[in-house]
Structure 1
């Protein structure tokens, strides 16, 4: 079946959330404005997440999965999802469901004009420490990238797949997706979306990997920006 939009769902030890993820996404794709599929990327979970994902995919035609041999990290999971995506549009949502799949519609409204549309979480339902570390990390990243984005950590995005596939991903680059679209000459925009508290499972990020990791990744981004190869073919023959 030809899909127009694929939603990537990276997951690591999220067994407590997966039935709720199935219900929410199955409900969404029934009323989505375009034909939509779901691609789970199991990032080497050590609980029974993979078993649950396999069962979910067996009973839902539009749900599919890939599973890593071991834990590789969020950036690797997103890259794998993009690599396996065949639809012209690719999205991304976290399996903790702190954002609402229905808000993809808000992003899809703008994807014709833009090449990446990212959510911006409003009225965040996280702890003070988590909100503060996110604010600091976003400020640091924005000072390096000048991408104008206030919340690149928002786990709700829609990207034109041909742009997404040209992103040379490295560990931590999921925080720089808007900046990487800009390097290709693409257009980006952020749209306010709803945010909810985590009600099951455990957060995978803490103060140190919200601040130290993003700071160091900024230097990797600067190296890539200096060396990034970008071109457009003006003419070709019929080969």
Structure 2
């Protein structure tokens, strides 16, 4: 079966959410504007996530998985997803489902003209502390990258796979995906999407790693921007 779009779903200790992920992604696949499949990336979960993932993939042809030997972090899980997909488009959504898979269609409406389309969480349903720390972190990152994006932490994105595979991913740099596309002279856009409270499981990021991590990563990005190799082939024979 020829798919056009792969949704990468990073998973770390999300056993309480995975059946809902299955249900909502199956419902989305039926209305998706591109032929869609799903790739779970199990980031070394210590609960029953892997057993659930295997059961989901066994009963649904559209679902596949890869599983890490040990926990390597969200950036590594996203990078592995990008490495393993073979469709022309790749997206990702968090397994906590605080964003809706249905909103992928809003992003896909714009992907022909742009190389990355990211969601912007409107009317966020997070705590005051989480909202403020994210707002501050986004302001810091925007000052360093000049990417014009308001919410790079939004876990709902669609990218042309040829661009995604060229992203030099490092730990923490999943927050910099729009900026990484700009390094390739790609075009980016943000689109408002829905946001929901977390229904189950535990958040993986706290106050300090939302603020101090992004600040340190900004300096890593500046170094990378200076060293980044970008080229276009004019002729070959």
Taking structure 1 as the reference length, what is the TM-score of the superposition? Answer: 0.99
Determine if the alignment matches structure 1 residue 59 to structure 2 residue 59.
yes
CA shift at 1:175, angstroms?
0.4
Q: How does 1:86-165 map to 2 (within 5 A)?
A: 86-165=86-165
Q: Counterpart in 1 of 2:42?
A: 42
Q: Measure, in 2, the Cα distance between the counterparts of 1:81 and 1:136.
A: 29
Q: Counterpart in 2 of 1:23?
A: 23
SS at match of 1:120: strand
Deviation digits for residues 189-223 of structure 1, max 9, x if unmatched?
A: 00000000001000000001000011000000000
Q: Counterpart in 2 of 1:195?
A: 195
Q: Measure, in 1, the Cα distance between the counterparts of 2:228 and 2:196.
A: 37
Q: Measure, in 2, the Cα distance between the counterparts of 1:33 and 1:141.
A: 32
Q: Counterpart in 2 of 1:5?
A: 5
CA shift at 1:60, angstroms?
0.4
SS at match of 1:144: helix
RMSD: 0.4
Q: Counterpart in 1 of 2:176?
A: 176
Q: Measure, in 1, the Cα distance between the counterparts of 2:198 and 2:177.
A: 24
SS at match of 1:71: coil
Q: Measure, in 1, the Cα distance between the counterparts of 2:199 and 2:120.
A: 20
SS at match of 1:66: strand
Q: Measure, in 1, the Cα distance between the counterparts of 2:94 and 2:146.
A: 25
CA shift at 1:2, angstroms?
1.6
SS at match of 1:168: coil
SS at match of 1:117: strand
- Matched positions, count: 237
SS at match of 2:91: strand
Q: Measure, in 2, the Cα distance between the counterparts of 1:174 and 1:127.
A: 22
Taking structure 2 as the reference length, what is the TM-score of the superposition? Answer: 1.00
Q: Measure, in 2, the Cα distance between the counterparts of 1:20 and 1:7.
A: 15
Q: Measure, in 1, the Cα distance between the counterparts of 2:186 and 2:102.
A: 25
Q: Measure, in 2, the Cα distance between the counterparts of 1:11 and 1:210.
A: 19
- What 5-or-longer segments of structure 1 have no aligned partner? none
- What 5-or-longer segments of structure 2 have no aligned partner? none
Q: Which runs of 4+ in 1 moved over 6 A?
A: none
Is 141-150 or 26-35 further displaced after alignment?
Answer: 26-35
CA shift at 1:33, angstroms?
1.1
CA shift at 1:119, angstroms?
0.1
Determine if the alignment matches structure 1 residue 211 to structure 2 residue 211.
yes
